[in-house]
A and B are shown apart, each in its own frame.
Chain A
Amino acid sequence: MREFAVFWGCTIQARFPFIEKSTRLVLESFGLPYRDIDGFTCCPEKSLVNNVDRGAFVLTAARNVALVDELGLDLVSPCTGCVSNLSTVKGELNSDPREKAEVNGLLREVGREFKGASKLQHLVPFFHDTVGIHKIKQKIKRDFAGMRIALHYGCHMIRPSHALKNDDPLNPVKFDNIIRGLGAESLQFLTKLMCCGQGLDRVDAHDRALDFARVKLKELKAIGADALVLCCPSCFLQFDNNQFLMEKEGEKLGVPVIYFTELLGLALGYDATELGMTSHRVDCSPFISKWEALSRRPSPSASMEAGLTGPSALG
């Protein structure tokens, strides 16, 4: 496996350092060759920067990719937006030599060069494709058998597919495969692929953002999901923070929101406090207590084993 730099992005480091914590714990447990490198900026956030100045969007992303290009590293990020934006620009420049030359003309003046050779991956497809589900199964101490998990892919984990090329953009399976590999049921529900709607919170449309959160959370409550699992800080903000704001207004939906790295961390044997899950706004303890109750119950195979090791037909 090639060494890779982790691209944390602005939101995780500024607002959710506990996500960085659980990501590091998981990367270390798997002994993955990751590095932190100097010099990254915002990826940049597309809806914001691209709308105002397209040139700045392309140049900034190209510079970030140039940093890993230079060091001969790949890049992995626990943020869907970052990977999607960086990949979009990488794809565009790699298919447009003229634009690439123009961008490199500017980058050269600060001593950089965009080659566009490094692999850019989001953490979920990275675990699926590069680490592999069999490896995950070998490593975990406890699975989630009996738990009912609702997945939220996050649009930018899979789209735009021409840039990301990592899953079916309309019927993705990789995140589901991992959740099933962890022993949980991955629920299928109507709003599964619906956009979280957090973007509305960035354009002064907070109430609309809440409308979007409500649609999905209500469905999850109705189908009795034990948790909503996702791997994007923007989606996390939408479902954890905004759910909490709704709760404060008297609308209690009570759906724990769990980051992919936290779920993996639990399976690896870390506890919720170590993983920073106590920093969530919406209480995760219903998920944890159900899981603990399940593990106290003897596993279905226990009685079978007792039968095999107890007094046998041969005495």
Chain B
Amino acid sequence: MLETRLNFKLLEMCSRCGACYSICPSCMNIPGYDPREVIRDILSGDHERWLSSRHIWECLECHYCVEICYQHYGFENAMTALRMVAAKKGMHPPQVKRGWDMFVKTGKLGEPALPARKKFGLPEPKASGGDEFRKLYALLKEKRGEAK
């Protein structure tokens, strides 16, 4: 699964570069956060231990590494790939699970705050596309051969 998500040739270059380490905000501010180690392990087929690590969720997706990278690749590709594998195995943080549940149920991450809207004299919120979204998501799952 990692192979289909990641370009190992580019990661190989990464393992000899590390330039984005010095601009990555999580590397600078979170003790122990170091995607270089993660990439080394991915290349040696040893990524399992990272799936349960909180570090893969501490990548902020700020895209700094992508922008500074001479390959326009970035640490975050490795971190995202591992997060996706972890989530497939149900190993994502409880808060992510709650957020996801709300998203598939309503198509949103929160509904308009009606009393406050009144207070500020805001118009009625427009209709949500929630129903159509649910229909569409069911179609996607059907197409992938997943249960509805």
How far is A200 from B111 in the complex, measured between Cα atoms in Å? 22
Q: A59–B125 contact, CB under 8 A?
A: no
Q: B84–A39 contact, CB under 8 A?
A: no
**Chain B 99-124, CB within 8 Å of chain A: the 1/0 string?**
11001100111111100110111110
Is A267 engaged at the interface, CB distance under 8 Å to the other chain? no
Is A205 engaged at the interface, CB distance under 8 Å to the other chain? yes
Q: B63–A159 contact, CB under 8 A?
A: yes
Is B147 engaged at the interface, CB distance under 8 Å to the other chain? no
Is A195 engaged at the interface, CB distance under 8 Å to the other chain? yes
**Inter-chain contacts of A195 with B (CB < 8 A):** 25, 60, 62, 64
Smallest distance from the beta carbon of B3 to chain A beta carbons, Å?
Answer: 16
**Chain A 196-228, CB within 8 Å of chain B: the 1/0 string?**
010110111100100110010000000000000
Q: Which residue of the partner chain, among A21, A40, A51, A156, contacts B92 with CB atoms under 8 Å?
A: A51
Is B29 engaged at the interface, CB distance under 8 Å to the other chain? yes
Indicate whether A60 sits within 8 Å of B107 (C-beta atoms), given known contacts A48-B96, A211-B29, A212-B29: yes
**Inter-chain contacts of B119 with A (CB < 8 A):** 17
How far is A45 from B94 in the complex, measured between Cα atoms in Å? 16
Q: A199–B107 contact, CB under 8 A?
A: no
Chain A residue with minimal CB distance to B84? A51
Q: B58–A205 contact, CB under 8 A?
A: yes
Q: B25–A13 contact, CB under 8 A?
A: no
Chain B residue with minimal CB distance to A155? B62
**Inter-chain contacts of B16 with A (CB < 8 A):** none
How far is A38 from B123 in the complex, measured between Cα atoms in Å? 13
Is B10 engaged at the interface, CB distance under 8 Å to the other chain? no
Q: Which of A13, A50, A67 has the most CB of B within 10 A?
A: A13
Q: A36–B123 contact, CB under 8 A?
A: yes
Indicate whether A41 sits within 8 Å of B129 (C-beta atoms), given known contacts A17-B112, A159-B63, A205-B57: yes
Give the number of residues in B that approach A within 8 Å (Cβ atoms): 57
Is A42 engaged at the interface, CB distance under 8 Å to the other chain? yes
How far is A59 from B134 in the complex, measured between Cα atoms in Å? 11
Q: A194–B126 contact, CB under 8 A?
A: no
Q: B136–A13 contact, CB under 8 A?
A: no
How far is A52 from B89 in the complex, measured between Cα atoms in Å? 10
**Inter-chain contacts of B13 with A (CB < 8 A):** none
**Inter-chain contacts of A204 with B (CB < 8 A):** 93-95
Q: B126–A40 contact, CB under 8 A?
A: yes
Is A122 engaged at the interface, CB distance under 8 Å to the other chain? no
Smallest distance from the beta carbon of A111 to chain B beta carbons, Å?
Answer: 9
Chain A residue with minimal CB distance to B83? A51
**Inter-chain contacts of B63 with A (CB < 8 A):** 155-156, 159-160, 169
Indicate whether A52 sits within 8 Å of B107 (C-beta atoms), given known contacts A195-B62, A208-B58, A211-B29: no
**Inter-chain contacts of A56 with B (CB < 8 A):** 104, 137, 140
Q: B54–A17 contact, CB under 8 A?
A: no
Q: B29–A59 contact, CB under 8 A?
A: no
Q: A51–B96 contact, CB under 8 A?
A: yes
Q: Which of A42, A197, A200 has the most CB of B within 10 A?
A: A42
| Other A-B pairs beyond A56-B140, A63-B129, A195-B64, 17, CB < 8 Å | A14-B108, A14-B113, A17-B120, A38-B127, A38-B129, A45-B109, A48-B103, A49-B100, A51-B84, A51-B92, A52-B87, A106-B136, A169-B67, A200-B60, A203-B58, A208-B29, A215-B29
13 contacts between A and B (CB under 8 A): A37-B126, A38-B129, A39-B127, A40-B129, A41-B133, A51-B84, A53-B100, A59-B140, A63-B132, A106-B140, A155-B62, A159-B67, A195-B62
7 closest residue pairs by CB, A with B = A14-B110, A41-B107, A159-B63, A195-B62, A39-B129, A155-B62, A203-B57
**Interface set of B (CB-CB < 8 Å, partner A):** 25, 29-30, 54, 57-58, 60-64, 66-68, 72, 80, 83-84, 87, 92-96, 99-100, 103-104, 107-113, 116-117, 119-123, 125-130, 132-133, 135-137, 139-140, 143-144
